[in-house]
């Protein structure tokens, strides 16, 4: 079973500015205070397709995270590894077509996949989702229209207790503990029922989506307003100077 949650939103900023804000949103808490949970961001690859002119980028984010408290309470500690804050990795891929005015992104967790797999897909466009064929004046480039629309879909899938392979995946993603035995885990799964547990985990995660989306959009709005008020070049210079000072501080004894 896969549980999905879809929302639509519009930013009152042109498409190039929104795509830039997307790539800068985790750059620094000074730029986006809602990004303090992001410990690092690394670009694995970034290249422009010479045939289409589209930018393809793959990044990996390391975040401070924890399973939802309701999930921690639902599952035994041998599965969750305890309820404390931990580091997790999120793989992000994106494709940007600046001429046609659209960007597609996908983010998915690389940790705790034996308990819950979360995939976030976003489609940014210069046209509203209910008007995909909306014409844009030939005098105005598509990417420079005043608004940018985004459709976000979260997909939640739990495979906990779905077989030996999935039990092994859970075992490999958690810390060793005194209650961490295949027999105890199997008895617990049998008592509750795998499908029931999976549906509960997916539902708990889905119920947190609205809160996550509000924080994500608030962060994007802050970055967008900085870009609008200070100018793109000024913001980029400030960020480069910030990183330079941070790097210098790390080198000092």
- pLDDT (tens digit, 9 = 90+) per residue, 60-85? 999 987 666 666 666 666 555 655 56
Distance, in Å, from the CA atom of 3 to the CA atom of 202, rounded to the nearest integer, reads 6
Q: What contacts 111, CB < 8 A, 6 or more positions away?
A: 65, 86, 88, 89, 173
Give the whole-angstrom CA distance, residue 99 versus residue 143: 6
Q: 3-class DSSP state for residue 166? A: helix
Distances (CA, A) of 162 to 1, 91, 125, 159, 167: 11, 24, 38, 5, 7
Please check the confidence at residue 183 and state whether its pLDDT lies above 60. no
With cut-offs at 50, 70 and 90, classify the pLDDT of residue 207: confident
Q: pLDDT tens-digit profile of 128-167?
A: 988 755 444 445 556 667 899 999 999 999 877 665 544 4
- 47 vs 175, residue with greater confidence: 47
Of the candidates 101, 115, 98, 223, the residue with the CA atom closest to the CA atom of residue 162: 115
The enclosing H or E element of 215 equals helix 209-230
218-225: average pLDDT: 96
pLDDT for residue 181 is more than 70? no
Percent of the chain residues topping a pLDDT of 90: 47
Question: What per-residue confidence (pLDDT) applies to 18?
Answer: 97
Report, at the CATH architecture level, how domain 3-131+141-251 is classified: 2-Layer Sandwich (3.30)
């Amino acid at each position: 079973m896969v549980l999905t949650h879809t929302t639509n939103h519009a930013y009152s900023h042109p498409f190039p500015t929104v795509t830039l804000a997307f790539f800068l949103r985790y750059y620094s808490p000074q730029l986006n205070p809602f990004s303090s949970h992001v410990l690092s961001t690394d670009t694995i690859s970034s290249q422009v397709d010479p045939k289409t002119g589209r930018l393809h980028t793959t990044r990996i984010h390391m975040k401070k995270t924890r399973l939802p408290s309701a999930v921690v309470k639902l599952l035994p500690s041998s599965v969750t590894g305890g309820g404390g804050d931990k580091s997790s990795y999120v793989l992000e891929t994106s494709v940007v077509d600046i001429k046609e005015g659209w960007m597609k992104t996908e983010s998915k967790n690389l940790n705790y996949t034996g308990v819950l797999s979360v995939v976030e897909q976003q489609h940014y466009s210069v046209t509203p989702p209910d008007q995909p064929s909306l014409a844009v004046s030939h005098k105005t480039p598509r990417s420079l229209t005043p608004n940018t629309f985004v459709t976000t879909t979260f997909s939640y899938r739990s495979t906990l207790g779905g077989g030996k392979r999935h039990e092994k995946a859970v075992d490999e993603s958690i810390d060793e503990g005194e209650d961490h035995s295949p027999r105890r885990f199997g008895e617990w799964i049998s008592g509750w029922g795998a499908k029931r547990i999976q549906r509960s985990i997916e539902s708990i995660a889905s119920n947190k989506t609205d809160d996550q989306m509000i924080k994500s959009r608030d962060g994007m709005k802050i970055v967008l307003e900085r870009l609008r008020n200070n100018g793109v070049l000024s913001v980029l210079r400030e960020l480069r100077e910030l990183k330079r000072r941070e790097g210098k501080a790390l080198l000092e004894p």
